[in-house]
Each structure stands twice: as structure tokens, then as C-alpha cells.
Amino acid sequence: MLLNTLFSSYLQIPYWKEIAFGIKSVSKQCLTLTLFLIGANLNPTMLKQVGIKPLLLGILLWIVIAATSLVFVRSFA
């Protein structure tokens, strides 16, 4: 917040709001990924041992379950 104010007020960087929004979006995504890996008790070594196929299957199943849940919540709420 302080950096945003500093850059906006004193440095006059063109397109600073767009740059700040991009940085904020990427940082949120990285934090979400990190918290997921901590919660799932995963680390890079374990991911290499397991391989890419189970990881992709898990991600695909998560997307399907999330989409199905969203449809049911939207249709019955």
C-alpha cells in the first residue's frame, strides 16, 4: 500500500495502476499455490517422485468437482 502511494504520487510511472494490479494478481496466485502445497503436505521432491500424470488427474478432478458444485449451488440456491 505504501509503495503504491509512493509510486503513484512521486514517481509518475506510466501505467502504474495496471502494473500494480498485475503484481498483486501474480502474488495472490503464488500465495494460493504455496498454501495449497503446504496444506497438501507436498514439496518439489515429492512431486518429482509422483510424476505429472497423477498431479494432472488431481487438478482435472478438482476442476470438474468445483464446476459441478457451482452448477448445483447456482441452480438450487
Statement: residue 41 has pLDDT above 80 = yes
* Torsion angle of the four alpha carbons 40, 44, 48, 49, in this order, in degrees rounded to the nearest 10: -60
Q: Decide: pTM greater than 0.85.
A: no
Of residues 67 and 21, more confidence is placed in 67
Model pLDDT, residue 66: 93
Distance between CA atoms of residues 2 and 20, nearest Å: 12
